[in-house]
Structure 1
Amino acid sequence: MSRVLRASAIMAAGTMVSRVTGFVRTAVLAAAIGTFALGDAYNVAYTIPFTLFDLLIGGVLSSVVVPMIIRRQQADPDGGRAYEQRLMTIGFVALTLLAVVAVALAGPLISLYSTDWGPRQTEVAVRLAQFILPQIAFFGVGAIAGAILNTRDRFAAPMWAPVLNNIVMIGVAVVYYVKLGGAGTDVDTISDADLALLGLGTTAGIVAQCVVLVIALHRVGFRFRPRFDLRNAGLGEMGRTAVWTFAYVGISQLGFLVTTKLATGAGERAPGAGNAAYAYAYQLFQLPYGIIAVSVITAMLPRMSRGVAEGRLETVRAEFSSGVRLISVLLVPAGLLLMVLGPAVTVLIFSWGNMTVDSAVYIGNVLQVFGLSLVPFSIFQLLLRVFYSFGDTRTPAFLALGNVTVNATLSVIAYFTLPAKYIVMGLAFAFTVAYVVGSAVAWVLASRRVEGLGGRKVAAGLSRMYLASLPAAALALGVLWITQELTGLDALSAAIMLAAGGGLGMVLYLAIAHRMRIPEVSSIVGMVAGRVGR
């Protein structure tokens, strides 16, 4: 566990800075463009390149490419160098072509993800998409570079590179707001030059991120040389393995499409309570997952893949067991605190510029619902890596089908039964239920694959973590109530709630968990104490 903890701590430091600057980026961008027509248009245009990348390339990287690179590193005489060069060549060419095609089809893509938009809002979204979609090529090349770095156990650069992206985007959003002020949210008056500032600025951040990753890859000895001898590229093996990954990603994106269309429709019925609110809440929900779980998951997959390649199932079980305990020990209190302090988080971040306190509170209400899903969502992602380490992409595809079916069904029910203002909150609840069910099913299947995952032990550990978290949640709730009674809810009171309720609540949790001898908390406390004592 100590090895995973150290690697995860290094990555978590970079991810922490990345997510904090991402916090600032989201807040500044929301202040500049709001959560109404322009906010919805931008968020749809912004998500399309990531959707296309995940649909065609991204899912293959985590589920197929990393295990295959590791196998080639062990089996090839050159340590897999030629294979990596072929992979980078194929990725660069394919992603460049994808970006060109996507820009040409920006109009149909926007229509696919929007509902009941007027002509001007659609026109603005299409123009933004044309400026943003070229980032597919740069984002993809950077992701391939990051995957190769991970196979060399070099995790720092992929975790720190997004910081530069966030800094660039913060600068773009500040310039946009200073230039346009309150008029920056009006789709009827915004010019093509202003849209170019937003769109090209967004792409510039991804370009900077890609450059950092390519430089880091060069520094570890990788030398890119275009190789088109694809006969030795292992495309047949990759294709057979990846076909189910494409199915998984396609099914997942179908679910995302349903959610986006329902959220944009909700925004037309209740302005300010649409896709932008869902997108901002989801980004904040991803903060603790990104800082804690992604770091552990990234460190786990190469080690589990090596364990499978060497026929050591006990290594897979040990890596998974340590991983699930490490992420849960911090995500359990984080989820409960989000459920209590969600509006305080969003008021502090979003109640500036062209945003109102009411709009910020609504995003916080959606975030509270997402807090329920933090632990099951993260465990589900860990479970998928068990299958990926075996080269099994078929089982995750069927798990995705079940997830999307549950999520889409509940989302449609929410859309047609809830008042317009509560639809997006209903979509977040549908997401939560889908991952609770999906995690239970995935656990049973993964446990059979590795001959046991210690479910009773994990359940007992989670129960103790939740028990230790309840006083922290109660403290945060008390601070929230007292502060609201004395001052109301504004940015200053929200900061007090987060500092006193969130900060002291987490300290209280760690103290109680340490006294309860929860091993993972003791490891964290010991590591921190050791660092401070030096």
Structure 2
Amino acid sequence: MPDATGPGPAGYAYPEPRYAEPRFTGEPRDRSWPPAQRVAPARVEPPPQPVDDDSEESVLASTGSMAIATLISRITGFFRILLMAAVLGGGLASAFNVANTLPNMISELVLGSVLSAIVVPVLVRAEREDDDGGTAFVRRLLTVSITILGLATLASVAGAPLLTRLMLGDGKVNESLSTAFAYFLLPQILFYGLAALFTAILNTRSVFKPGAWAPVTNNIVAIAVLVLYFVMPGEISLDPVQMGSPKLIVLGVGTTLGVVTQALVLVPALRRQQISLRPLWGIDARLKRFGGMGLAIVLYVLISQVGLVVTTNVASQADASSPAIYSFVWMLLQVPYGVLGVTLLTAIMPKLSRDAAADDTPAVVDGLTSATKLTMVALVPIIVFMTLAGPTIGEALFAYGNFGADDAHRLGLTLSWSAFTLIPYAFVLLHLRVFYAREQAWTPTFIIIGITAVKIVLSLLAPMLVPANQVVVALGTANGLGFVAGALVGGMLLKRSLGDLHLANVGRTVGIVIGSSLAGGVVMLVLDAVLQLHSLTTSFGGLGAVARVVVDAVLMLGVTFLVLRKFKVPEVVAVTVAVGRLVAKLRGRPAPESAGTEAAGQPAGAPTGRNPVPYAEARRVDTGRFDRPTYPGRGAIVSDSDAAAANPTGAQQASNTRPDPDAPRAPRRHVPDLMVDTGVLPLGAMPPMRASGPGDAPRRPVRGPRLIPGAAVAGGRYRLLAHHGGANGLQFWQAVDTKLDREVALTFVDADQQFTGPDRAEGPQAVLSRTLRLGRINSNGLARVLDVVRGSSGGIVVAEWTPGSSLREVAATSPSPLGSARAVRALAAAAESAHRAGTALSIDHPDRIRISSDGAAVLAFPASLADADQSTDVRGLGATLYALLTDEWPLEDKSAVDGPPVTVGGMKQALLDPKGLPTEPRKVRPEIPFEISAVAMRSIQGDSGIRTAATVQHVLDQASVVDQKTDLMHAATGAPAGGPAPEGPTERTPGDQAKRKRMIISLSVLGVAVLIVLGFVVQQLTGIFGANDSSPLPDQNIGLTTSPAPTSVAPSPTAPAPPSKVVIPALSASVFSPQGTPDDASGAKLAIDGNPSTTWSTDQYYQPFPALKNGIGLMVTLKQPTKLISVGVESPSPGTRVEIRSAPSADATLDQTQVIGSQVLGNGHTEIPVQSDQTTRYVLVWITALGKADGQNQSKIGDLTFTGAA
């Protein structure tokens, strides 16, 4: 049963509306922007409301709690599905699931869709506009909603037989049982609606935790109910179904109590927010304005429900288990989408909605491109794995209890043939989000028509094209093809609305992901066959299948990840960075700076300083509008506009100017995008309403996105990968250019928006302008400046990424003095070029410096500050050299507060003498040459003879004139000669990298060869020592002899002749059923009439043995007592397990019989050998496991023959 965890069918929270914001039409705006602010009329203060703690710490805590709640909800919901399958079995689970689907469908149709599309935006507006803070609106909304839901519940309960008849038709699912369940489950309609409404109200108050945790309580109650059902004695009566059956009541009432709990746990949170629940009649006039949109939403849901009804009908007509299998597969597909797809797209979805609502077509296209790449990278490997390992996954997860191995195998096949659905499903959700944000409420109706039409046609064709037991597999494929049609229709409508979607830009990434996944799949299949992992399933059943799935997943996903990492797919690099930092945080240690940089080298085709750069310095058109941030809160201000370059003052005005810090501030609300699956195709969050009025709230200052790995900045152009420190109001980040698919270095200027001074020469825009001049410098010691992105206050400097290691990491490895000199020599050359160009580098902090893979010190994060000049650069050169020699930073940290810092950029702050000078490097490391030590010291002093970068470069040239291989820096070649092994990450020369690559390839090939040899050896040993051959070891052919073993051996003259065989006729047969009414009692004689075409059959059971009874059989009386040799069984029911038992009399109990043989029947004749030294006249053919007949648990026996000794 899907969780209804959100305010509507999508479970989304809604972004805070922006009132009185005009739609951008592409026309130039008046340069006097912004217009004069309207003054809101005086309003009566509402009753005291609880103060929301919207601090950044509180927001982060809430977000983390919701992430944990979502994860736990997924885990408990998944366990609930597995438990339901094992306890109920296929047939009973189908009857239960069909009934349990009805309240979800009706609640969404009656209220859920309208709630998400219309009510919530109006609720937010009422809270801000009404004099009572929206109290009356909430009371009216609750009163009307409870009335509508209550009437719908009563009508549904009264019409329960008609509803189940509509869902099942004339199918093979027990309609009476499903109707009985419906009577108990349909009251959930009221509580599903209340839970959604309560969650929506709390979300508008920025209270998210209760709504996120409520579904967990529902799952816990449902799991407890299933456990209670399992341990209770007795069974549900099926013919006829009795409403008073204890197990029926426990399962139906208990499941409904779970939904009741989900709604009631939200009431205390409503009370804490002082939200009145007292009824108040009336309908708010603001709801009537959106009646047309509401009609479109209801029609959308209704069409989707028609498709579900048709699919359920077709599945139920195939066999009793198919509806449950179809439902379980869809829920199983939601696990990877919920954990991976939703998680990765959460950061993109809110901005995509806002850009679509603002008609910012380029930003929407960029967002779709990013979302497409993320979707493919996250889901394609999982899809390939599910497709290849589907049957094994089905057996590993569901082949337990009453579900049965055959149904589990069919479920796995269905999963294989429908796993591809995840990609078009994700695309459809993206398309819906864009259309609803653009207020094109009727456009998604065409998409759902396309999906449903294809789905219905293919579903109706399925029974005509495939056997009955494979219909559910075809239905899963039909569902996926329906979403493919919907994605194509949505893509065409988007292209007509937005123009070229530029999907060719993601072609390289998508190709790499598909190729990597297929490579991983091939490796998995080959090793699975070589190692004969299928024997795990054969030998150990479900647990063996679990082990096989784990091994296959590690093989395939591991190979896929390694290939993606090798090609440096940016999304994979970003995930690696985030996981590395999370692991470091959990271990209680600071995240390493190289978490995402050590392997994140320059992608193929990335430009160097010698190549033209595909960036234009003035490429944007001023629209007078700045992008709304992805998240509210502090962060960098970035924009796609260079208006601030020409008019910094105007740029400041565009952000409404920084407010007075002493003035009262409106509370900030953080509204995350809660994308939680509820089992219904989501509709997407509605856009902010644009109706303006005198009560509109003033616009708040624009805030930039929080700088965290994975966040998109500059209109989605760059995605952040890893943080590399910061200084003096600057923040340094490694990022990926999503358009050119390459890594870049981003320097955020005034990232915290702390600059408030009037001096324009000192301001962030001046820093950007000075830094832009560095783009004309081509030097190995300076990362080339590619672009400058200006925002309302600060901006971003975009530079080439420098692969290698940070200064701190290299200094920690104690590089050789000569290697250090060569490194700083390159940086000195860049500084000299900058000085000749009339600017400076601002070498003032170790976080700015990286050591490239060529061993050169590079200013990796350029930004020319106001106090930077030739002398400060010379001191910075000396400090960089000093840091490499001593692993200490000798300059003060200007950005430090509260006294001298202990560390600067992760490096230890050097101790200074009374003259303000650090300890001479030669005293720290005596092996340092005098010239190199002197250059470092005199450069730091600034007035001791070295005043230019050219002098530093010249002296270091002289000091490092001897070019020996052992003198190279440790960061490039490993540990210095005779030195200890490094502890941190290092860089290698191209020769070392080639050797290492060859070594890895050799070891990989050797490892695969060893695995193949081990598999062959295990196979041979299994053949030798296995139980299949009882011949003595010397007589077995183990492949070492050159002559074939003799095919026969002459019998010994003294050996006794084998006994002669004779068929013993049977006189009579009766049904043996000690635990209930005999099945087909009159047909027992047909099993001994000698005609295989006439059969005796058991009843059809919804649950396999021993759920309802421990077995059933035929007691056969032979013509005479005989010593049986074998029993032949002719049966069209493969999979039936039969025991042959000898009995002392025809009316003996089961305990009085003795097992003398057993075997699983095949299709047709099966000869069961018997081992018995005693003669017997009464033989019990005892069935302990039923076969499958048309999807039912049923077995048939056509003829029995008894062979004995003459």
Tell me by how many angstroms 1:48 deviates: 0.8
Task: Work out whether 1:427 is the aligned partner of 2:475.
Answer: yes
Matched, 1:501 2:552: yes
Query: What residue is the counterpart of 1:48 in the other structure?
Result: 102
The residue aligned with 2:292 is 240
- CA drift of 1:241 comes to 0.7
Q: Deviations over 1:12-54 (max 9, x none)?
A: 5433322221121111111221112x22211110111111122
Check whether the contact 1:12–1:291 (CA below 8 A) recurs between aligned residues. Answer: no
**Equivalent residue number for residue 563 of structure 2:** 512
Aligned to 1:35: 90
Whole-Å separation in 2 of the counterparts to 1:360 and 1:96: 39
Higher mean displacement: 522-531 or 294-303: 294-303
| 1:24 lines up with 2:79 in the alignment | yes
Q: Could you tell me how far 1:111 is from its partner in structure 2?
A: 0.6
TM superposition shift of 1:68: 4.8
Cα distance between partner residues in 2 of 1:478 and 1:255: 40
Q: Which residue of 2 aligns with 1:126?
A: 179
Maintained 8 Å contact 1:301/1:389: no
2:451 counterpart of 1:399? no
Q: How does 1:411-450 map to 2 (within 5 A)?
A: 411-450=459-498
Structure 1 window deviating more from structure 2 (485-494 vs 68-77): it is 68-77
User: Which residue of 188, 195, 199 corresponds with 1:135?
Assistant: 188
Amino acid at match of 1:446: L
Partner of 1:373, secondary structure, is: helix
**8 Å Cα contact 1:23-1:284 kept in structure 2:** yes
Compared CA separation, residues 396 and 212, structure 1 to 2 (3 A): same
1:284 Cα deviation from its structure 2 partner: 0.9
Letter in 1 for 2:533: T
The 1:483–1:250 alpha-carbon spacing in structure 2 relative to 1, beyond 3 Å, is same
Q: Which residue is equivalent to 1:483?
A: 533
Q: CA deviation at 1:503?
A: 3.8
Question: Separation in 1 of the partners of 2:536 and 2:206?
Answer: 51
Instruction: Report the alpha carbon displacement of residue 216 of structure 1 after superposing the two structures with TM.
Output: 4.7
Describe the shift of the 1:311–1:74 C-alpha distance in structure 2 as closer, same or farther (beyond 3 A).
Answer: farther
Q: Which amino acid letter does the alignment assign opposite residue 248 of structure 1?
A: Y
Cα contact 1:241–1:393 (8 A) shared by 2: yes
1:421-461 CA distance string (max 9 Å, x none): 11111111111111112102202212443455432224443
Amino acid corresponding to residue 27 of structure 1 in structure 2: L
User: Is 1:461 the counterpart of 2:509 in the alignment?
Assistant: yes
2:414–2:472 CA contact under 8 A, matched in 1: yes
What does residue 110 of structure 1 align with?
164
Residue 324 of structure 1 and its aligned partner are, at CA, apart by: 3.7
Which has more radius of gyration? 2
**CA deviation string 1:299-345 (max 9, x = no partner):** 66655454455555555445544444333322111111111222222
Confirm or deny that 1:526 pairs with 2:581. no
TM (norm. structure 1) is 0.88
Distance 1:70 1:380, change over 3 A: farther
Letter of the structure 1 residue corresponding to residue 557 of structure 2:
M
Q: Deviations over 1:384-405 (max 9, x none)?
A: 1111112322111111111111
Partner residue in 2 for 1:262 = 314
Deviation at 1:10, TM superposition (A): 6.7
Structure 2 equivalent of residue 253 of structure 1: 305
> Equivalents in 2 of 1:526, 1:215: separation in Å?
40
Please tell me whether the aligned partners of residues 60 and 242 of structure 1 are also in contact (alpha carbons under 8 angstroms): yes
13-22 or 81-90, which moves further after superposition?
81-90
> For structure 2, which runs of at least 5 residues remain unmatched after alignment?
1-59, 586-1206
User: 2:89 is matched by which residue type in structure 1?
Assistant: G
Residue 226 and residue 529 in structure 1: after superposition, are their counterparts in 2 closer, same or farther (change >3 A)? farther
Give CA deviations for 1:199-254 in whole Å, capped at 9, x if unaligned.
1111111122223344455556755454434133x221232111111111111111
Instruction: For 1:106-185, list aligned pairs within 5 A.
Output: 106-117=160-171, 121-150=174-203, 156-180=209-233, 183=235
Aligned length: 522
Which is worse superposed, 46-55 or 309-318? 309-318
SS at match of 1:100: helix
CA distance in 2, matches of 1:196, 1:26: 20
Select which of 436, 457, 462 maps to 1:388: 436
| Partners of 1:313 and 1:300 in 2: CA distance | 15
Q: Find the aligned partners of 1:79 and 1:293 in 2 and give their Cα distance.
A: 37
Q: Is the 8 A contact 1:63 1:393 kept in 2?
A: no
Query: In structure 2, what is the Cα distance between the partners aligned to 1:177 and 1:128?
Result: 17
Which residue type is aligned with residue 305 of structure 2? Q
2:990 aligns with: none
Q: Tell me what 1:101 maps to.
A: 155
Instruction: Tell me, in whole angstroms, the C-alpha distance in 2 between the residues paired with 1:340 and 1:375.
Output: 16
- TM-score, normalisation: structure 2: 0.41
Contact 2:388–2:416 (CA<8 Å) still a contact in 1?
yes
User: Which range is displaced more, 18-27 or 301-310?
Assistant: 301-310
Question: Secondary structure of the equivalent of 2:379?
Answer: helix
CA 1:85–1:412 in structure 2 vs 1: closer, same or farther (change >3 Å)?
same
**Match of 2:439, SS?**
coil
For 1:29 and 1:253, the matched residues in 2 are separated by: 24
- The CA distance in 1 between the partners of 2:64 and 2:251, in whole Å, is 34
CA contact under 8 A between 2:85 and 2:403: conserved in structure 1? yes
Q: Shift in Å at residue 165 of structure 1?
A: 1.3
Higher strand share: 2
Structure 2 partner of 1:348: 396
2:195 counterpart letter in structure 1: G
Determine which structure has greater relative contact order: mean sequence separation of CA pairs < 8 Å that are 6+ residues apart, divided by chain length.
1
Contact 2:100 2:182 in 1 (8 A): yes
Equivalent residue runs for 1:349-364 within 5 Å: 349-364=397-412
The alpha-carbon deviation at position 65 of structure 1 amounts to 4.2
Cα shift at 1:144: 2.5
Of 194-203 and 504-513, the range deviating more from structure 2: 504-513
Which residue matches 1:14? 69
**Structure (1/2) with the larger helix percentage:** 1
Measure the CA separation in 2 of the matches of 1:73 and 1:513.
48
- Once the two structures are TM-superposed, the CA of residue 406 in structure 1 deviates from its matched residue by 0.8
Whether the 8 Å contact between 1:260 and 1:275 is mirrored in structure 2 is yes
The answer to whether the 8 A contact 2:84-2:93 is kept is no
What is the Cα-based RMSD across aligned positions, in Å?
A: 3.1
Deviates most, 253-262 or 155-164? 155-164
> CA contact under 8 A between 2:389 and 2:416: conserved in structure 1?
yes
The amino acid across from 2:425 in the alignment is F
Give, as a single letter, the amino acid of the residue that structure 1 aligns with 2:422: L
User: SS where residue 265 of structure 2 aligns?
Assistant: helix
Note if contact 2:122-2:287 (Cα within 8 Å) is conserved in structure 1: no
CA contact (8 A) 1:7 1:299 kept: no
Q: Which moved more, 1:444-453 or 1:7-16?
A: 7-16
Match of 2:440, SS state, is coil
Distance change in 2, residues 1:521/1:310 (3 Å): same
Runs of at least 5 residues in structure 1 that lack an aligned partner in the other structure: none
* AA at the equivalent of 1:484: H
2:236–2:245: 8 Å Cα contact kept in structure 1? no
Shift of 1:109: 0.4
Check conservation: 2:171, 2:318, Cα contact below 8 A. no
